[in-house]
Amino acid sequence: MLASAGVRLSAASRGKVSLVSVSRRLCTNQPETPAPILAPLPDSEPVEPRRPRKDPSDCSVLLFPGQGSQFVGMGRGLLQYPNVKEMFTVAQKILGYDLLSLCLQGPEEELQKTVHCQPAVFVTSLAAVERLNHENPKAIETCVAAAGFSVGEFAALVFSGAMNFAEALYAVKVRAEAMQRASELVPSGMLSVVGRPQAQYKHACLQAKEHCVSLGIEEPVCTLASYLFPDGRVFAGHQKALDFLQQNSRRLQFMRTKPLPVSGAFHTELMESATEPLREVLRQVEIRRPDINVYSNVDGKRYMNEKHVRRQLVKQLVSPVKWEQTLHEIFERTHGKKFPYTYEVGPGNQLGATLQRCNMKAFKTYEHVDVTTHGDD
């Protein structure tokens, strides 16, 4: 079992206790220290680990970015905060290479590789949580929901207490390696598109596949891989199909197109070979019901139990990321009801940009936790 690695990083504790406790070392036989338990209030009765309803303006939501947000230098502004250096030390033992050096110094072409950038974004995002906890502990104490984009979902689950840091990082490592291998089987990629209201995305996929067939490509793949915001989509599939979409963007009513810096057609059937390695590692790790609401990329709905987490994380590899739907699920409310504070924890601010497009009122209480500068810079 992966737990025999001897490290348990508790993500369930909040408030006075740091979110990610890295006091236990890898590769030791020391007994595990129990996770801190907050004392119950006087005269309180035992209850389910669920949070009571609160005024939305006194609550927070955390958003965790995914692959594509990485850049050389990320994490530089986080090293002064509790536990962060130790998190990167644990990561080096699990991954077998110096992740901190790669994040801070590159080279960029190595950091951009799927096998490296997914663990890098995962660790940097949880390190950003440490900064938020240090500078604004109330944001952690009052958090009622979390969501992550693609690999960011693993960080959200660690934050929620559903997985521990070390085991989740190992699962991310296996996932990234499997996705990299799947990407190398066929020339493929992803294309971000902002369309006009009259754009017909599924019909565009059909035309692109017909073009591939005319080139002699058997069973071509071109499909929607992400729903970002209204008329913001990501296509993924065979590279020739994506080239067709770009070359015919005006006719297809696309205002902007941009190839993404990824190695393959993620969240499509071309990732099918990556599902079994991920399914197998998720069988080995301990997964618990999240302490707060965590939303699945597959359908935008919150996770219900540990079996649901395992099933959806595997399904996510070959299913489109329904991010727009997730944001609606989190932030939809009746007229006049207040919105929570929203924090994007990790490199980049792309998730904030999608929130701005989906819900301007919710965006007014959005903040990005910087990963490059110190709080006193």
Q: Which of 346, 1, 350 is nearest to 170 (CA)?
A: 1
Burial category of 199 from C-beta neighbours within 10 Å (exposed 0-12, middle 13-18, buried 19 and up): middle
Verify whether residue 69 is a known catalytic residue: no
* Residue appearing with tokens 């291998």: 181
- How many other C-beta atoms can be found within 10 angstroms of the C-beta atom of residue 306? 16
- Which residue out of 183, 267, 296, 368 is catalytically annotated? 267
Burial category of 283 from C-beta neighbours within 10 Å (exposed 0-12, middle 13-18, buried 19 and up): exposed
What are the backbone dihedrals phi and psi of residue 120, each rounded to the nearest 5 degrees, phi first? Answer: -65, -45
- How many other C-beta atoms can be found within 10 angstroms of the C-beta atom of residue 272? 12
Q: What is the DSSP string of 58-70?
A: G-EEEEE--TT--
Q: Which of 330, 321, 340 is nearest to 65 (CA)?
A: 321
What are the backbone dihedrals phi and psi of residue 23, each rounded to the nearest 5 degrees, phi first? Answer: -80, -10
Q: Which of 89, 78, 85 is nearest to 25 (CA)?
A: 89
What are the backbone dihedrals phi and psi of residue 37, each rounded to the nearest 5 degrees, phi first? Answer: -115, 125
Verify whether residue 150 is a known catalytic residue: yes
Are 169 and 24 in contact by the 8 Å Cβ rule? The answer is no
- Which residue out of 60, 150, 249, 263 is catalytically annotated? 150
3-class SS at 307?
helix
List the Cα angle 21/22/24 in 5-degree steps: 120
Are 283 and 145 in contact by the 8 Å Cβ rule? The answer is no
Are 278 and 130 in contact by the 8 Å Cβ rule? The answer is no
Question: What 8-state DSSP symbol labels residue 358?
Answer: H
Give the catalytic positions in this structure. 150, 267
